Amino acid sequence: MLQLETESLSHRMSETTNTAVMVIGGAEDKVHGRLILSTFFSRAGGTDARIAIVPSASREPSVIGERYTTIFEEMGAKAIEVLDVRDRDHAEDEDWLQFVDDCTGVFLTGGDQLRLCGLLVDTPLMERIRQRAQLGEITLAGTSAGAAVMGHHMIAGGGSGESPNRSLVDLTAGLNIIPDIIVDQHFHNRNRMARLMSAIASYPDRLGIGIDEDTCALFEANNTFQALGKGTITVIDAKDVSHTNQPDAGTSDPLSIHNLRVHILCHGDRYDYDRRLILSQRSHDGEHSRMRD
């Protein structure tokens, strides 16, 4: 079923669609260049954009909702609605469902990813957002907690400053927008390599994607994403792993993982997460070139 959803995302999004799923590592520039937020605005239709802001991850939803409203107003969005879901019943609100049916972009703010999932998972509102995003009908962006929820598996929390080990990461169900990936955010900023590696050791068929602050993995049609922004995206690919030890879940015994493939991607790099290969990247002098895998 997850596979079907993946295929629907890849096959049913038209080659020419301008929509995307934007997975943002948190702390995106909101003041100066606003590269990532401007890209979301543009991919959502620019001055024709009808944008739904979902601030439900935050414990101050009205404050953060207002903040993003101001930004997209300044950019010139045609319509903006804050879907301030504070109770699962709110996620059945007919006016909000109507807005989602007509919107061109949805933005999930930061906060607590467990709170966001608890309020939205399997609700009519979230199901419509997920389906429209997977069909390529809208551009869906999530930052920080809003990024963490994108996979079928979600990192709910965990530790840092320890050797990779099973107890370092708490995994639960995400919102399943892009089932095949496990996302971590504020990545190098908050020392999260060990916890993402620990997550991938438990689910080696998934692709680990660690996104730095003010950086975005922009997912488009055909199972590709490109790196956008000031930092890096760390791709952890366990496809070639030849050995992983299997201490009991929850123990802090250190992990042993052999033959991980790791890519550090920066602005302009593009990756095919279905075929697990890098398609091209912009070199420091701005040239493009096709790379061998």
Catalytic residue positions, numbered:
144, 162, 186
Taking a C-beta distance cutoff of 8 angstroms, is the pair 137, 166 a contact? no
Select the residue interacting with its own copies from 125, 194, 209, 217 (CB under 8 A). 194
Q: Strand 207-211's sheet: what is its strand order? A: 181-185, 207-211, 233-237
CA distance 182 to 235: 10
CA distance 168 to 259: 21
Q: Which stretch binds its own copies (CB under 8 A): 43-51, 87-95, 127-135, 155-163?
A: 155-163
Q: Which stretch binds its own copies (CB under 8 A): 53-61, 69-77, 82-90, 162-170?
A: 162-170
CB of 186 to its own copies, least distance (A): 9
Find the binding residues for its own copies in span 200-239 (CB under 8 A). 212, 215, 230-232
Does 247 engage in binding with its own copies (CB under 8 A)? yes
Select the residue interacting with its own copies from 193, 209, 217, 218 (CB under 8 A). 193
CA distance 27 to 87: 26
Handedness of CA 277, 283, 288, 290 (dihedral sign): negative
CA distance 80 to 84: 12
CA distance 131 to 201: 29
Q: Which stretch binds its own copies (CB under 8 A): 16-24, 100-108, 130-138, 246-254?
A: 246-254
CB of 187 to its own copies, least distance (A): 8
Judged by the rule CB under 8 A, the positions of this chain that interact with its own copies are: 160-164, 188-191, 193-194, 197, 212, 215, 230-232, 242-243, 245-247, 253-267, 269, 278, 281, 283-284, 291-293
